[in-house]
Amino acid sequence: MHGFQMKAVFTLLFLFALTSAYQLASASLKTQDLKERNAGSFDDLLQQAIAFIPMDDEVKVYMNYLESDKDVQSAILYLYSDSFASLIDKVEQTSLWIQ
């Protein structure tokens, strides 16, 4: 992979991980108090692991890349482009696409 592609993949993976972690943490904390859960449950362990992620620092790093790195900016713009949308449409229309 070229540098641009690696940065695009890194950006997408980072966004996915950041969004997933935030949604998991906020949804779980809103619905149930951690003290009411079983001590060894997967959900409890996941919440404990997520609590160690410095989300403010992660957002700062991402925003720094987004503001200053031309390749990351290009990758994000490409994801919102008509070209990428048509590529997604083509993939969804193939017989191999499973919905």
Q: What is the pLDDT of residue 86?
A: 92
Q: Please list the pLDDT of the chain residue by residue as tens digits (99 residues).
A: 566 666 777 777 777 776 777 666 666 555 555 555 555 688 888 888 888 888 888 888 888 888 899 998 888 899 899 999 998 888 888 877 665
The answer to whether 24 and 50 are in contact (CB under 8 A) is: yes
- Write the single-letter amino acid at 48: Q
Over the range 23-33, which residues count as b (16 or more CB within 10 Å of their CB) and which as e? eebeebeeeee
Q: What is the pLDDT of residue 35?
A: 53
Q: What is the pLDDT of residue 29?
A: 56
